[in-house]
């Protein structure tokens, strides 16, 4: 079994690591687009163009499934990819807006995501479909992907966003960018037990099993 993982930057490595644990016999192929990271501050047309170009090595290797381990690329490009390459199985990552409301006691959830994801049609459709009865806080994380990529993010960045969410009574935080998986523990520490953190690792593993009939 060959699993391809694409992300704009280092976030895909975290996803691939978790997939390798779940499927130890799988061949894992990872591509990124470090030259153009971050995607989250670019316009939709450019994100689509960059994504299509970046995944070509995975298509050429005939991966059994390709994980678009980038919430921004998923939100903009996944439907086009599925139409353009109908024989290829794709899994996209999207903020976990669907399960979050049921886990919130305060009725307030927070989404840490890039500007492109937050303004995307897919994300806003999910909000209307699954989160109409909760308040959603969307703090400014626009520079986080770049800071994480360059190993420059520090606890002050994380603490400031955590305080904003806690002050708004958010008790569920959704990680809507795979870059943020690298600082998940720091985010949890900054929230100080006042909010749970959701990220899609288990859902990705389950979807791989489903698509490949494992």
Mean pLDDT of 29-55: 94
Between CA 128 and CA 191 the distance in angstroms is 26
Over residues 168-197, the pLDDT tens digits come to 999 999 999 989 989 999 999 999 999 999
The predicted structure's pLDDT at residue 131: 95
Q: Residue 109 phi/psi, 5° resolution? A: -125, 155
Q: Which pLDDT score is estimated for 48?
A: 96
- Give yes or no: residues 147 and 161 share one domain: yes
Do 46 and 136 lie in one domain? The reply is no
At which residue do the structure tokens 């005939």 appear? 62
Domain that includes residue 61, residue range: 2-93+201-211
Give percent of the chain above pLDDT 70: 100
90-135 per-position pLDDT tens digit: 999 988 999 999 999 999 999 999 999 999 999 999 999 999 999 9
**Is pLDDT at 214 greater than 90 in this prediction?**
no
CATH code assigned at 130 = 3.40.50.1860
Identify whether residues 74 and 124 lie together within a single domain.
no
For the chain, the domain total comes to 2
Question: Are 37 and 112 in the same domain?
Answer: no
Catalytic residues: 70, 177
CA 89 → CA 2, 19, 74, 188, 208, distances in Å?
Answer: 12, 16, 14, 33, 9
Q: Please indicate, yes or no, whether residues 135 and 109 belong to a single structural domain of this protein.
A: yes
Confidence (pTM): 0.85
């Amino acid at each position: 079994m060959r699993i391809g993982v694409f992300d704009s930057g280092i976030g895909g490595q975290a996803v691939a690591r978790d997939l390798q644990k779940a499927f130890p016999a799988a061949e894992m192929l990872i591509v990124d687009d470090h030259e153009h990271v971050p995607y989250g501050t670019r316009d939709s047309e450019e994100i689509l163009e960059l994504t299509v170009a970046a995944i070509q090595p995975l298509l050429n290797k005939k991966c059994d499934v390709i994980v678009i381990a980038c919430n921004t690329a998923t939100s903009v490009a996944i439907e086009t990819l599925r139409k353009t390459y109908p024989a290829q199985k794709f899994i996209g990552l999207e903020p976990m807006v669907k399960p979050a409301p049921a886990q919130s006691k305060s009725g307030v959830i927070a989404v840490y995501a890039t500007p492109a994801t937050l303004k995307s049609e897919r994300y806003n459709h999910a909000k209307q479909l699954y989160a109409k009865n909760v308040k959603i806080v969307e703090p400014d994380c626009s520079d986080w992907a770049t800071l994480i990529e360059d190993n420059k993010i520090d606890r002050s960045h994380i603490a400031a966003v955590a305080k904003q969410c806690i002050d708004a009574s958010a008790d569920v935080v959704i990680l809507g960018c795979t870059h943020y998986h690298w600082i998940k523990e720091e985010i949890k520490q900054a929230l100080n037990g006042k909010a749970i953190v959701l990220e899609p690792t288990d859902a990705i593993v389950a979807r791989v099993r489903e698509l490949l009939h494992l």
